[in-house]
Chain A
Amino acid sequence: MEAATTHDAPHAGPHEAHPRGLLRWLSSTNHKDIGTLYLWFSLLMFFFAGSLAMLVRAELFQPGLQIVQPEVFNQLTTMHGLIMIFGAIMPAFVGFANWQVPLMIGAPDMAFPRLNNWSFWLLPAAATLLVGSFFAPGGAAAGGWTMYPPLYIQGGIAYDMTILAIHILGVSSVMGAINIIVTILNLRAPGMTLMQMPLFVWTWLITAYLLVAVMPVLACVITMLLTDRHFGTHFFNAAGGGDPVMFQHIFWFFGHPEVYIMILPAFGIVSTILPTFARKPLFGYASMVWAVASIAFLSFIVWAHHMFTTGMPAGGQLFFMYTTMLIAVPTGVKVFNWVATLWRGSLTFETPMLFALAFICLFTIGGFSGLVLALVPVDIQLQDTYYVVAHFHYVLFSGAAMSIMGGVYYWLPKWTGHMYDERLGKLHFWLTTIAFNLTFFPMHFLGLAGMPRRIPDYALQFAQFNMVSSLGAFLLGASQLIFLIAVVKCIRGGRAAGDRPWEGADTLEWTLSSPPPYHSFATPPAIAPLHK
């Protein structure tokens, strides 16, 4: 791939000047500061939405209603989903993009620094609306994160607050995505061709296009929901000539690419970590790029596999089944390439590598359950059961969230200048991996045996696995406090990391000091021509 040949010019003096205190963060246009803000924001939301999940699991610990009543339970599941997706996972990846994309392509900053500031500062406003909706009359939105009408039409003011919050988050995402696209296309160091970019940059370029394509679709559909609620339209009301199922079509046209928005950057992080700790280049770089691009393309033509039970014609079901199964091909290519990257390497097992290896195993399990769900007849049996809950947590927790954790450990030395505590990191990794599987693996069995999702109470034959799952969830939640401790400890001190703490790392950020200067690559680095 690429190789940096020159060290960046030393930075000091007037370049370092910036406001101190709160004003630094409020007014910052610096990609590193904004990246830090995004990452802290997402961690906060991760803990908040995680606490909601703890309450859900506490209620499901035993049959019967103990902790919360059904209307509160529905609010908890709904807001857990919305906040994890829009508040934790997506902003975390944008945080990585902010920190890493300019550093990895040798750019001085993002292309639109002020837009960058605004993209971030919209988030706290949206989060306030979402969290505040719990205090609205009647409580938070309780119609599921998918917001299906007509149920979503029935709710109170919190439902409008949620729509407004998602609008704001959508605007933020689109602005962030435009910024990333322009940065990658225009600000690469001279000599770095597209096919020389680190794979993480490639995955974010494609993700950003997905965001620009589908966030407006989400904005449209929730606006239609809003006008149905308040302004007498009947988009989704059959009595006025509308169709509730049309909502699902539009929503999932956004929703399926959204799934890949949350996993493609994870592919990028894993594809960065594995070569570093295998001490050999990523296997099949070109086919990795093509695989990501084909997954992104296919994501636009599979949406109705979320809707097989709505009762579409056989032709429709078969089309969406075939396209969905096709996704297994590029996904398989990625997994094979990762394994080939490990093959005959010189492996070491620092915390980031452990997360990347767990990612391959557990994400693959999520891929298998996805393949099972692609088959229409099996999907009809498993739709809206705990099997689906297991499936998307294997993809989103052990996929997206664990890749984020691995990425944080990988780049923390660069960001802070200190090595993290390897023992804490490994403890966090092992507890997370064990607790995750304890929580979510039994859910496959629950779903197969017939337990619907989104229910606050369940029949007795589901009691044992639910108890195991709840115990796992409490351990999983508690383990994340170790993550917080490890991060804070690393920021406050620790062994000096040096410019390049990882022997096998070869991307541009490792040519800079740790932490990098406030303004880096003011003069672009020289890139060696592609060696083939």
Chain B
Amino acid sequence: MSAHTPPARLLRHRPAPARVHPATPHAPSATLAAPLRAALGALCALLPALAGADYAINLQTPATGIAHDIYDLHTTILWICAGIVVVVFVPMLIAVARHRKSLGHAPRQFHEHARLEVAWTVVPVFILIAMAWPATQTVLAMKDTSAADLTIKVTGHQWKWEYEYLGAQADENIRFISTLATPRAQIDNQAPKDESYLLAVDRPLVVPTGRKIRLVLTSSDVIHAWWIPAFGVKQDAIPGFIRDTWFRVDAAGTYRGQCAELCGVGHGFMPIVVEAVPPERFDAWRGEQKALLAASAAAAGKTYALAELKTLGEKVYAANCASCHQANGAGIPGAFPALSGSALVAGPKAGHIDRVFNGKTGTAMAAFGKQLSDLDLAAVLTYERNSWNNKTGDTVQPAEIAALRH
């Protein structure tokens, strides 16, 4: 389903500009003094910036009717502002240029003009009314979430998105978690950054084109905001409350956005990717997902060896735990506890499982029992118990997690 419009539709720039990489081809010879080199580097960066040909300086290309309305509203108000600029700044420039003491201009001592003052109070009111009318129409359209063809529940977690397609019956629901797919090495400048740097996820939200999709949003921890600029949709996900919004995408393609409400350390690293596909492809995808869910339920019934669990657990850890506890398990002193050598992690299984499954209230430690599958939880627990300085040698099996759910 990703074979449609290339992801570049939102990235209006040349692919992977070389100058943002550490090894830039502009790098001058090593004989140059460091400050000169820095200045040259800056100039190299500035020149194309000033040329400006391939820069996004306006809203993204709208992909929904609402986004079109927003685009038009913005353009209209920009023209109105341009008109006011002329009215205000032309007299100001004339005064600055001509009414100078150095040109011998003597000051006129007037300080009131009733009719003028009334005019520049009343005329703006009418301009504002003219502007408020189309904006009001759009607000009412944005708020109308009725008669949706498909409802998807979106839950924000620190720092990933959970999607649940609500079916006619509870067991028809498809549920999965979408996390950042950009490798850590790219963020740390140890690998070249690819085109969808920080805007790629492991599992995108798949929706049918031409259908009215209603999102109901909430959060499990702090406030997040679900935002796809090309849809004109931005809605806060608020813990303990449900909010809703909607969109209808016209063209198939990949649309990218990001969390838009500061939500902690990983705020810059929880992108949103939506794949819009034709309705018949969507139905096929939905069928595949149900089969996958059944397979994963079967997998959770098995017993695994330590090595198998550790391999899977390392991936789960990187996606869910490493932003706070760090890849080396050392945590961040004072903010996020170390797992390596932790008495809780290397101690009896029950305490460790409880902390990961139920979280710790009042801290950023989430209840992962609600987010991850039995197998993923078993794997990450096993990984933590047998990594860094922790050498318990024991495993946690999916069945032990499943037992907690009943």
Which A residues are in CB contact (< 8 Å) with B67? Answer: 381
Cross-chain contact A459 with B197 (CB below 8 angstroms): yes
- Stretch of B29-37, B128-136, B171-179, B292-300 lying at the A interface: B128-136
Complex partner residue of B95 from A342, A383, A467, CB under 8 angstroms: A342
Complex partner residue of B107 from A280, A372, A375, A384, CB under 8 angstroms: A280
In the complex, per-residue mask of A127-139: 1 if CB is within 8 Å of any chain B CB, else 0: 0000000001111
- For window 23-74 of B, CB contacts with A under 8 Å fall at 42, 45-46, 48-49, 55-60, 66-67, 69-70, 73-74
Minimal beta-carbon separation of A65 from chain B (angstroms): 6
| A371 is an interface residue with CB less than 8 A from chain B | yes
- B contacts with A, residue count (CB < 8 A): 115
| B86 is an interface residue with CB less than 8 A from chain A | no
Cross-chain contact B100 with A460 (CB below 8 angstroms): no
Which B residues are in CB contact (< 8 Å) with A156? Answer: 334-335
Cross-chain contact A448 with B335 (CB below 8 angstroms): no
**CA of A322 to CA of B128 in the docked complex: distance in angstroms?**
9
Interface of A is mostly: helix
Which B residues are in CB contact (< 8 Å) with A66? Answer: 189
| A456 is an interface residue with CB less than 8 A from chain B | yes
Which B residues are in CB contact (< 8 Å) with A457? Answer: 187, 198, 268-269
**CA of A375 to CA of B108 in the docked complex: distance in angstroms?**
40
**CA of A332 to CA of B74 in the docked complex: distance in angstroms?**
20
In the complex, per-residue mask of B241-252: 1 if CB is within 8 Å of any chain A CB, else 0: 101110000000
Cross-chain contact A461 with B108 (CB below 8 angstroms): no
| B327 is an interface residue with CB less than 8 A from chain A | no
With contacts A151-B263, A384-B225 taken as known, whether A344 is within 8 angstroms of B107 at the C-beta atoms is yes
- Stretch of B109-117, B203-211, B344-352 lying at the A interface: B109-117
User: For residue B125, which residue of chain A has the nearest CB?
Assistant: A329
**CA of A348 to CA of B91 in the docked complex: distance in angstroms?**
17
With contacts A314-B140, A460-B20, A468-B46 taken as known, whether A348 is within 8 angstroms of B236 at the C-beta atoms is no
User: For residue A281, which residue of chain B has the nearest CB?
Assistant: B111
**CA of A381 to CA of B138 in the docked complex: distance in angstroms?**
13
**CA of A326 to CA of B260 in the docked complex: distance in angstroms?**
28
- Stretch of A114-122, A163-171, A237-245 lying at the B interface: A237-245
Which A residues are in CB contact (< 8 Å) with B125? Answer: 329
- Stretch of B147-155, B226-234, B280-288 lying at the A interface: B226-234
Minimal beta-carbon separation of A337 from chain B (angstroms): 8
Cross-chain contact A381 with B232 (CB below 8 angstroms): yes
| A435 is an interface residue with CB less than 8 A from chain B | no
Cross-chain contact B240 with A237 (CB below 8 angstroms): yes
User: For residue A372, which residue of chain B has the nearest CB?
Assistant: B77
| B262 is an interface residue with CB less than 8 A from chain A | yes
Cross-chain contact A339 with B49 (CB below 8 angstroms): no
Complex partner residue of A137 from B139, B245, B333, CB under 8 angstroms: B333
Cross-chain contact B121 with A333 (CB below 8 angstroms): yes
Cross-chain contact A310 with B238 (CB below 8 angstroms): yes
Minimal beta-carbon separation of B56 from chain A (angstroms): 4
**CA of A340 to CA of B120 in the docked complex: distance in angstroms?**
12
Minimal beta-carbon separation of B25 from chain A (angstroms): 15
User: For residue B62, which residue of chain A has the nearest CB?
Assistant: A381
User: For residue A310, which residue of chain B has the nearest CB?
Assistant: B236
| B278 is an interface residue with CB less than 8 A from chain A | no
Cross-chain contact A458 with B268 (CB below 8 angstroms): yes
Complex partner residue of A154 from B45, B227, B243, B264, CB under 8 angstroms: B264
Interface of B is mostly: mixed
Which B residues are in CB contact (< 8 Å) with A74? Answer: 262, 264-265, 267
**CA of A456 to CA of B267 in the docked complex: distance in angstroms?**
9
Minimal beta-carbon separation of A412 from chain B (angstroms): 22
User: For residue A447, which residue of chain B has the nearest CB?
Assistant: B59
| B343 is an interface residue with CB less than 8 A from chain A | no
Cross-chain contact A139 with B334 (CB below 8 angstroms): yes
| A393 is an interface residue with CB less than 8 A from chain B | no
- A contacts with B, residue count (CB < 8 A): 101
Which B residues are in CB contact (< 8 Å) with A151? Answer: 222-223, 262-264
Cross-chain contact B131 with A375 (CB below 8 angstroms): yes
| A431 is an interface residue with CB less than 8 A from chain B | no
Minimal beta-carbon separation of B182 from chain A (angstroms): 9
Cross-chain contact A148 with B262 (CB below 8 angstroms): yes
| B305 is an interface residue with CB less than 8 A from chain A | no
Complex partner residue of A381 from B116, B223, B234, CB under 8 angstroms: B234
**CA of A482 to CA of B247 in the docked complex: distance in angstroms?**
52
**CA of A14 to CA of B258 in the docked complex: distance in angstroms?**
68
Complex partner residue of B109 from A64, A280, A464, A465, CB under 8 angstroms: A280
**CA of A107 to CA of B141 in the docked complex: distance in angstroms?**
58
**CA of A144 to CA of B77 in the docked complex: distance in angstroms?**
30
Cross-chain contact A309 with B225 (CB below 8 angstroms): yes
**CA of A340 to CA of B198 in the docked complex: distance in angstroms?**
50
- For window 361-403 of B, CB contacts with A under 8 Å fall at 362-364
Which A residues are in CB contact (< 8 Å) with B85? Answer: 364, 368
| A489 is an interface residue with CB less than 8 A from chain B | no
Minimal beta-carbon separation of A270 from chain B (angstroms): 13
With contacts A376-B135, A452-B259 taken as known, whether A244 is within 8 angstroms of B99 at the C-beta atoms is no
| A283 is an interface residue with CB less than 8 A from chain B | yes
| A143 is an interface residue with CB less than 8 A from chain B | yes
Cross-chain contact A347 with B57 (CB below 8 angstroms): no
Cross-chain contact B109 with A244 (CB below 8 angstroms): no
Cross-chain contact B229 with A381 (CB below 8 angstroms): yes
| B301 is an interface residue with CB less than 8 A from chain A | no
Complex partner residue of B57 from A136, A317, A332, A445, CB under 8 angstroms: A445
**CA of A375 to CA of B73 in the docked complex: distance in angstroms?**
8
Cross-chain contact A309 with B89 (CB below 8 angstroms): no
Which B residues are in CB contact (< 8 Å) with A449? Answer: 12, 56-60, 229
Which B residues are in CB contact (< 8 Å) with A149? Answer: 222
Which B residues are in CB contact (< 8 Å) with A471? Answer: 42, 46
Minimal beta-carbon separation of B96 from chain A (angstroms): 7
Known contacts A449-B56, A460-B11; 13 further A-B pairs (Cβ under 8 A): A138-B334, A143-B264, A283-B113, A284-B117, A329-B124, A332-B84, A336-B120, A381-B67, A381-B70, A384-B261, A452-B258, A464-B49, A467-B49
Query: Which residues of B are in contact with A by a Cβ distance under 8 Å?
Result: 10-13, 16-17, 19-20, 22, 42, 45-46, 48-49, 55-60, 66-67, 69-70, 73-74, 77-78, 81, 84-85, 88-89, 91-92, 95-96, 99-102, 105-113, 116-117, 120-121, 124-125, 128, 131-132, 135-136, 138-140, 142-143, 186-189, 193, 195-199, 221-223, 225, 227, 229, 232-236, 238-241, 243-245, 257-269, 323, 332-335, 362-364
Pull 8 A–B residue pairs with CB atoms less than 8 Å apart, ordered by A. Answer: A142-B265, A150-B221, A150-B223, A154-B362, A345-B107, A381-B229, A449-B59, A458-B268
